[in-house]
Amino acid sequence: MTHTRDALVVHPAAPDMSEEERTALTEAIDAALACAQACTTGADSCLDEPGIAHLRNVVRAQQNAAAMCSAAAQILSRFGSDFGPTPATVLHALGDVAALCEDAARVYAGAYEHCRVTAEACARVRAAAAGLLARG
């Protein structure tokens, strides 16, 4: 059990959430946190590569994804008994930003291992966001 899951289990609104919803939410939050870390480190790694001008777009995409993932994890962690429309909006934005970053990083994934890691983290967060959205 992760700390995220532990926190969601002891939250006062936990009885209002099914086990499947709690699992999907845990996966989305954990994936967002992991992606934020991978993107932050990936952008920093890109900046240490020689002649980085060709990596400018991927660095920006990684920075945007890291910021969005951090914000999404925080927002999704404050759920209470009625989410309202905010989580769906956040999850759509999270998926969109992660997709942009994944696409940018995949271009360089064969040449730079840190870009491969970033692309995989973005793919995971996109899948987790889509899974939570599908739960409706």
Which domain CATH number covers 102? 1.20.1270
pLDDT the model gives residue 116: 98
Q: Look at 20 and 38; give whichever has higher pLDDT.
A: 38
Q: Which range marks the domain in which residue 93 is found?
A: 30-134
How many residues are listed for the chain in this entry? Answer: 136
The whole-angstrom separation of Cα 116 and Cα 110 is: 7
Does residue 86 fall inside a structural domain?
yes
Q: Kindly list the distances between the CA atom of residue 122 and the CA atoms of 62, 82, 117, 125, in Å, as whole numbers in the listed order.
A: 9, 28, 9, 5
Handedness of CA 131, 85, 76, 13 (dihedral sign): negative
Q: What is the pTM of this model?
A: 0.91
Q: Please report where in the chains the tokens 């990936």 appear, as a residue.
A: 42
pLDDT tens readout for residues 4-19: 888 888 888 766 778 8
- How many separate domains does the chain show? 1
Q: What is the pLDDT of residue 119?
A: 98
Query: Is 68 within the bounds of a domain?
Result: yes
